[in-house]
Structure 1
């Protein structure tokens, strides 16, 4: 099998440059993209990349013109496509770049499958239109629902996102297969299309680091600093815990200014930092526990499986996570799940883990890492994806 992954898979050095300049952090998209590539390659699939830089619209990212170029990462050949980074123009120029640059690459590589990573409408429409010309099928990997509206989105952006939801849904229903992180993504946006639930992938090196217990209890959150992700409630929960704890936050998002204020007022709250993905394994290994506090009252929760959760578990540290409906039941023995998502619930769950002995925390974390290694590694998940696509191609 040969696939072309159409999406946002870029070299590490470009991602570091983007994170240093962009208002939003793109690390998780980057990690998932490369884990997907690894999942295919570990199962004997040849992979080519058609990519674009994952950046916020201007002025969230100050660079307007993004040029194209070729790149090679560990033998995986990729082509960055150019675009103009402004509202509306961004979608139009990415769609045109697919036809000008992408079509030439597809004629050269002749993939069996075009695998679209994400719900970016220019890529979806290009893929379903070009497939017959190159003799390929189209699979879409859905990690989030289309058109998620955030608190910081203005009125124009909200209108455009609602239009995009309609466009994306139409394109998805013309695809040959979807791989979804949660079943409702397929049910609601790609009805009638064969679907496989693969709730996430993880880089295997994260589970190989030794645990290094900190001098004082250290709670770690890594991800987007958004209110809807439960970050504010997590801070409020930590305020009710004993004075000797520390909350370390790693990421970027709209809550940054507020978090800086909280850090100035309370020595238990660390000033948020943006770090390289390469730094995260050591950060996780140095935590007493990791927290995924996503709020349950957000509309996107039923569609959402935070891929960070698999990354957390793979680190071998205890994980506290709210009870998201998208978390499969077999995760339950390896998570500490609060009764709810308010600060008191989070504080009770965190406090319970901190009351364990160091040995108890290490044993619990090791069981979670082994669960991920054996059932959710890129090799294991990639095998499921390849068998799923093979079955569709052969009519099985």
Structure 2
């Protein structure tokens, strides 16, 4: 009998109400989708209470997300599991997370990791010596990927890179659950509300986004004020707070649970999804935030993180990450808000059909040698 164990360093519960990041959203929705195929357990390094949601179980280790203690607790828990028919899935390549998977594999389990992110974004602000040590640490983690049964990646570029470390590699997708999304309608407001929700990092064009809003509001053609609402945290948090203090068109809300962010999206005229495409972080990243935004039916202004031929049907393409491009996108969105609302409606149907969680986990399970939803 096949069982799936998903190792998480972020999930604190089985409720989407407690989700605050796209990574948490992905991990929980992936686990829920797997639980519809067969027995599925999340082993959470950080949760403090066990929980159950239908056929999905959460085992809480109550550790810190990283470190020797959490690695030891995870190893002990995995070694207690009967390995026959077990497929263990983790995320990333932190050595202290990969090593317990290797111990589990040595006893007969099948071990995999999903590489949809990179350590570069978290370490690029480090001092040179600290960054060198961090790169060496995560370099060891990448070497430890070789003995795993396989890897999941989400971009072709990442597939080419990680295939050098493990030949058994599968390109997957990040899904969307349309049943959880409430319909968007064009807001009636004197302001043009714009939202960004995500990591406040250089590679997400945060400063250019804010500068673009300020440029737009200083434009003589402006008929109503644009207000930018930002949700999230990251290396540019202090910069965002400074902008918010100086300009009333920049509003920073900090970190909020998913339900609050979703409600804010529905109140917005436009959502931004910018990414500096030549940044190292973009190599592995899959546009999960973009998928959620398009699936919600809100008009989206985005860089071409998916093929432009597809995106141009459903979103407003921002040609480069600059204040001027952001300003131009805002002016165009305001003038053509009804036509972009029609695009957004088409996008919702497209996402529901192309990014179905059931199809995604069916393919992943088949790759690991387990049952698929097609066989259930």
TM-score in terms of structure 2 length: 0.86
Segments of 5+ residues of structure 1 without an aligned counterpart are: 20-25, 54-66
- Give 1:228-307 correspondences, 5 Å limit: 228-241=203-216, 242=222, 244-307=225-288
Q: For each residue in 1:65-86, what CA deviation from the matched residue of structure 2 results, as whole angstroms up to 9, or x when unmatched?
A: xx8553323442121224357x
In structure 1, the partner of 2:341 is: 362
Q: Is 2:225 the counterpart of 1:225? A: no
Pair 32,196 (structure 1): closer, same or farther in 2 beyond 3 Å: same
How far apart, CA to CA, are the structure 2 residues paired with 1:111 and 1:7?
A: 20
Q: For each residue in 1:30-71, what CA deviation from the matched residue of structure 2 results, as whole angstroms up to 9, or x when unmatched?
A: 1011111123134x1321111112xxxxxxxxxxxxx85533
In structure 2, the partner of 1:63 is: none
Contact 2:120 2:281 in 1 (8 A): no
- Give 1:4-153 correspondences, 5 Å limit: 4-8=5-9, 9-11=11-13, 16=18, 27-42=21-36, 44-53=37-46, 69-83=49-63, 90-104=66-80, 106-107=81-82, 110-133=84-107, 135-153=108-126
Pair 194,92 (structure 1): closer, same or farther in 2 beyond 3 Å: same
The Cα shift of 1:195 comes to 2.1
- Give 1:155-174 correspondences, 5 Å limit: 155=128, 157-174=130-147
Q: For each residue in 1:307-355, what CA deviation from the matched residue of structure 2 results, as whole angstroms up to 9, or x when unmatched?
A: 111111111011111123x658644422221221111122222321221
The Cα shift of 1:190 comes to 4.0
Matched position secondary structure for 2:304 = coil
Contact 2:178 2:352 in 1 (8 A): yes
Pair 257,355 (structure 1): closer, same or farther in 2 beyond 3 Å: same
Q: Is 2:197 the counterpart of 1:195? A: no
Q: Is 2:4 the counterpart of 1:3? A: yes
TM-score in terms of structure 1 length: 0.82
Matched position secondary structure for 2:331 = helix
Pair 129,196 (structure 1): closer, same or farther in 2 beyond 3 Å: same
How far apart, CA to CA, are the structure 1 residues paired with 2:201 and 2:314?
A: 26
Segments of 5+ residues of structure 2 without an aligned counterpart are: 217-221
How far apart, CA to CA, are the structure 1 residues paired with 2:122 and 2:237?
A: 19
How far apart, CA to CA, are the structure 1 residues paired with 2:343 and 2:45?
A: 40
Pair 334,197 (structure 1): closer, same or farther in 2 beyond 3 Å: farther
Q: Which residue, 148, 153, 159 being the options, matches 1:180?
A: 153
The Cα shift of 1:255 comes to 2.3
Q: For each residue in 1:117-169, what CA deviation from the matched residue of structure 2 results, as whole angstroms up to 9, or x when unmatched?
A: 23232221211222131x22112111112454444324454133212232121
Matched position secondary structure for 1:240 = helix
CA RMSD of aligned residues (A): 2.7
Pair 311,13 (structure 1): closer, same or farther in 2 beyond 3 Å: closer
Matched position secondary structure for 1:247 = strand
Contact 1:375 1:381 in 2 (8 A): no
Q: Which residue, 331, 353, 367 being the options, matches 1:374?
A: 353
Matched position secondary structure for 1:193 = coil
Q: For each residue in 1:162-220, what CA deviation from the matched residue of structure 2 results, as whole angstroms up to 9, or x when unmatched?
A: 12232121121221121112122232234242222223223434543242514021111
Question: Number of residue pairs matched?
Answer: 362
283-292 or 272-281, which deviates more: 272-281
Matched position secondary structure for 1:270 = strand
Pair 306,364 (structure 1): closer, same or farther in 2 beyond 3 Å: same
